[in-house]
Each structure stands twice: as C-alpha cells, then as structure tokens.
Homo-oligomer: A and B are copies of this chain.
Amino acid sequence: MQKQEALERLHKIDQDIKHLDQVSALLQWDQETYMPSAAVEGRSEQLALLEGIKHEKFTDPEIGKLLEQLASDDKDLPDIERDFLRVFRKQYNRAIALPADLVTEAARAEGLSQAAWVEARKNNDYKTFIPHLEKMIGYAKKKAEYWGYSGHPYDGLLDIYEPGMTESVIEGVFVPLRDRLARLVQRIGEKPAPRSDFLSREFPVDLQAQFGEQVMKDLSYDFTQGRLDISAHPFTTTLGPRDVRITTRYFPQNMLSGLFSIIHESGHALYEMGFADHIRDTSLGDGASMGIHESQSRLWENVVGRSYAFWKGQYARLQGLFQSQLTDVSLDVFYAAVNRVQPSLIRVDADEVTYSLHVILRFELERKLFSGDLSVADLPEAWNTMMYAILGVRPDSDANGVLQDVHWSMGAFGYFPSYALGNLYGLQLWETLKAQNPNTERHIEQKNYVPVLEWLRSNVHIHGCRYEPGDLILRVTGRPLSAEPFIHYLEQKYGQLYSL
C-alpha cells in the first residue's frame, strides 16, 4: 500500500472512532439531561455495546500494519500529519497495551468500587471502602506497568491526563505553591470577612438562566453549535464537529453557583469550538490535556469572570434583573462577595485561593499511596492532618473528608493535579496575553471579550492536542510550567481585596 493510501485509511478509522465517541457522548448527555428514569439500565447496555465496537475498531490489527508503514518522524509528511500520527499512535498503543482480561477485570472491580464508595460516603463508613481502594490502586499500578514510564509508576498514570508531565515536575511547582498559598490564606483569615448575606436571598431561577445565557452570548458562545441545559452536575460535552453543549444547575438561594458553572463550562466549550476546522473531527481535535482544558475554564470563570473589570461591565444588568435582591448592594460590595475566601472542607465548593490547596493535598497523598509510604488504612488520618496543616480546617467526618471525591473509587489516580495545573497554565497564558494586549482590562469593562477569545483561539484552541501541554505553554509564553504568575496574581488581587 502506498504511504498516502495508508494515511487516508488511518484517517478514516480515526474518524469512525471519533464519531463513535460523539455518539457515546450524546447517550451520556441525554442520560444527564432528559432521559426518563427507568431507561437507565437500557442506556448502560447501549453504552457498553458502543464501547465494545470502538474497542474492536481500535484494536484491529490493520491499524498496527498501517502504523508500521507510517513513521511519526517521516520528513516527507506535513507537520500536521506527523502530529496526527504521534497522537494516534499513542492512543493506539495505550489501547492495545493492556491484556483484555485485565481490562474486563478492572472494569468490573471499578463498578463494584464505585458502588461501595457511594455507600461508604452515605454511611460515613470508610472501612468498608478500604478493600476496594486497595484494589483500585493495585489495578492502577498494573496498568502503569503495561503502559510503561520512565521515572515513577505514578508518571504512567499522569501521562493519561497530562501528556509528558511527571511527578517530579509537579512536585517542583506544587510544594512551594502550597506554602505560599497557605500563608496567603492565613493572612486573609486574619482580616474581617466581606459582607455576603445578600447572596443567599431568593434569586428566581428563570432570571438566573436569562442572565447566564446573555453572558454566554457575550462570551461568543455560539448557540447554533451548542446548547445550555440543566443537569445535576455541570459539564461540557462534544457531540459532533459543530455540537458542543454545556449544562449547569441553579439554586434559588445561591445565584453565584449556577452562573459561575455556566462561565466555567463555557470556557471548556469555547476551547472545543475553537479547534481548527481541519482537525476538529480527528484525534487532534481534543484538548492538549486535562490541565490545559481546565486552564481555559478557570481563566474564564475566575480570571475574567471574578475580575473587577468583568463586573464593572456586567453588574448594572444583573442589578436590573434582580432589583429587589441587589438594591442595597454596590458594585464594590458585590465584587468583594464574589471573591470571598473561606477555607472549607469540600473541594468543589472552594474559592479561587483555597482551591489549589485541596488539589495539592490529594496529589501528595496519591504519591504516598503509590510509593508505599502511606497505607490505605492510614489515609483518613493523613488527609485530616494535612487538611488542618494547610487549610486550618479539620473534617468532621470522612464523608466530608477523604470520601468526598468520586475519582479514586474509579481508579482515576493522577487526575487531580490537572485541576491545579489548570490554574497555573491559565495565569501563565493570561500574563502573556496581557503583555501583548495592554488594553485587555478596558475591553472587559466594556463587555468586549472578543480580544481575549481571539488570542486564546489563535494561540491555544486552534492547535487542539497537536502539542503536549509543556510544549504548548513554552511555545506560547516562552517559559516552562511555573506557579509564579498564578501566585503573583492571587497575592495582588487578594492583597487589594483584603487590604493585606
């Protein structure tokens, strides 16, 4: 077979797999939004069938033969094809590396583990979860061995979520970040808390939706290529090359929650909507990493959405919609409330300053679990002790401590760091963007977010996953991964807010 022919065939296979993923995404979207309750069992069988078909397509020996004919470093091929081959080959190698028995066995154990976690959390009974967590760690270690790694086994897992990232690189930025964040939180804690009583007033849900949708339009979210719906947990999902949908949920007495979920998910969606046309329906049409994806959602949610400039532009409209609720609340008071810092037990409820500390805690515990320095039985005590050390709060229960997240019960180790890396990448990008566009703040004040989006589009979105996150950040910002811009941003912003 000619090289060109082989490449075309590989692209066809790639597209079929992509389309199967999109179909599965629709099944899941529907399950979270509109599906009637009794349909859940049938839906999981449909998803399993598609998963099986995808696996069959992906592990077809034909792919191996095609890849043998096509070298990722073939100088005759255009850059984009070499990038495609690299990304496809990596996915393929990961798919075929694991013995089928292990995959089936681990999937079954995962199902049991998740069910056990749900029960353990409900009953605040960590002990019943111990054997499952031990098994999950065991499977993760085995998988890491099959996938291979150069440094620690943990690197083999990290690579799923952050291609090219290693434990030692993360450690190098997380440890100093932890100390400086903890100090910042402590200093803020010594100051009086800003007023925030008005946030728990009654905000009618239909008006919240109206405001949220207007913000989405302001952010250039394209409603001909997506939708906003309601689900128990907000998420973004891509159902086709021109179909990127988000969800949120509204609480009448917590207006900020629904709105900032909308901005966060819009950030994810704008990324997916921004892949170059010729890669969006291929394996390259994906986020560079979980961390880069989070950098986009968090940049829009926090750096833009919680900025003074943003609310200077948007607050009059918000006040217009919620006249009785916000009549006695000035822009400055609202801005301070939106950025209230409050150490708390639950990661997903954490503010911009404390959030990364929740993540670093998980990273440190994961490492110890994988190096053997911490046993599963001793995990809750280690969690609680570290929580108190870095955030000054101590869980009242394991349900509100070590059992709060679903990730470990699913064997998703190495995932957590991406959340905090997103903050770091985001501020590195933001610093560069601002240096190149000094009028950014003024534009945001005028509700003109186009320059920010355009910059992110042409520097980040358009590339999809052509570059690994480390390369992308270096390429765009001229610097390797660094926590400096993030911590600098926080110290400046919260220094002002809390008169530190």
Q: Which residues of A contact B (CB under 8 A)?
A: 16, 19-20, 22-23, 26-27, 30, 34-39, 41-43, 45-46, 49-50, 53, 222-227, 229, 239-243, 245, 281
Cα distance A26–B24 in the bound complex, in angstroms: 11
Contact A224 B23 (CB under 8 A): no
Contact B37 A224 (CB under 8 A): yes
Contact A242 B36 (CB under 8 A): yes
The residues of B that contact A222 with a CB separation of less than 8 Å are 38
Contact B19 A239 (CB under 8 A): no
Residue in contact with A36 in the complex, picked from B20, B39, B42, B243, CB distance below 8 Å: B243
Cα distance A302–B281 in the bound complex, in angstroms: 48
If A42-B240, A46-B240 touch, does A23 touch B23 (CB 8 Å cutoff)? yes
Could you say which of A45, A223, A224, A245 has the most chain B C-beta atoms within 10 Å of its C-beta?
Answer: A45
Contact A49 B225 (CB under 8 A): no
Which 8 pairs show the lowest CB-CB distances between chains A and B? A42-B240, A39-B243, A38-B242, A38-B224, A38-B225, A42-B241, A39-B240, A19-B49
Residue in contact with A46 in the complex, picked from B19, B38, B229, CB distance below 8 Å: B19
Cα distance A249–B278 in the bound complex, in angstroms: 38
10 new A-B contacts, CB < 8 A, other than A39-B240, A42-B241, are A22-B46, A23-B50, A26-B27, A36-B224, A36-B225, A38-B222, A38-B243, A39-B242, A41-B241, A43-B240
Cα distance A311–B22 in the bound complex, in angstroms: 46
The residues of B that contact A53 with a CB separation of less than 8 Å are 53
The residues of B that contact A240 with a CB separation of less than 8 Å are 39, 42-43, 46
What does DSSP make chain A's interface, helix, strand, loop or mixed? helix
The residues of B that contact A229 with a CB separation of less than 8 Å are 34
Residue in contact with A30 in the complex, picked from B26, B41, B46, CB distance below 8 Å: B26
The residues of B that contact A20 with a CB separation of less than 8 Å are 49
Cα distance A42–B124 in the bound complex, in angstroms: 46
Contact B23 A242 (CB under 8 A): no
Contact B227 A42 (CB under 8 A): no
Closest B-chain residue to A38, C-beta based? B242
Closest B-chain residue to A41, C-beta based? B242
Residue in contact with A239 in the complex, picked from B23, B39, B241, B242, CB distance below 8 Å: B39
Cα distance A90–B22 in the bound complex, in angstroms: 32
The residues of B that contact A245 with a CB separation of less than 8 Å are 36
Contact B35 A243 (CB under 8 A): yes
List 18 contacting pairs A-B, 8 Å CB cutoff, sorted by A: A16-B49, A19-B42, A22-B42, A23-B46, A23-B49, A26-B27, A36-B223, A36-B224, A37-B224, A38-B222, A38-B225, A38-B243, A39-B239, A39-B242, A42-B240, A43-B240, A43-B243, A46-B240
Closest B-chain residue to A243, C-beta based? B39
Cα distance A209–B487 in the bound complex, in angstroms: 53
Closest B-chain residue to A15, C-beta based? B45
The residues of B that contact A223 with a CB separation of less than 8 Å are 36
Contact A23 B34 (CB under 8 A): no
Contact A27 B23 (CB under 8 A): yes
Closest B-chain residue to A226, C-beta based? B36
Q: What is the minimal beta-carbon distance from A231 to any residue of chain B, in angstroms?
A: 13
The residues of B that contact A22 with a CB separation of less than 8 Å are 42, 46
Cα distance A225–B42 in the bound complex, in angstroms: 11
The residues of B that contact A227 with a CB separation of less than 8 Å are 34, 36
The residues of B that contact A224 with a CB separation of less than 8 Å are 36-38
The residues of B that contact A49 with a CB separation of less than 8 Å are 16, 19-20, 23
Q: What is the minimal beta-carbon distance from A381 to any residue of chain B, in angstroms?
A: 44
Residue in contact with A42 in the complex, picked from B38, B50, B281, CB distance below 8 Å: B281
Q: What is the minimal beta-carbon distance from A101 to any residue of chain B, in angstroms?
A: 20
Cα distance A49–B243 in the bound complex, in angstroms: 17
The residues of B that contact A34 with a CB separation of less than 8 Å are 34, 227, 229
Q: What is the minimal beta-carbon distance from A281 to any residue of chain B, in angstroms?
A: 7
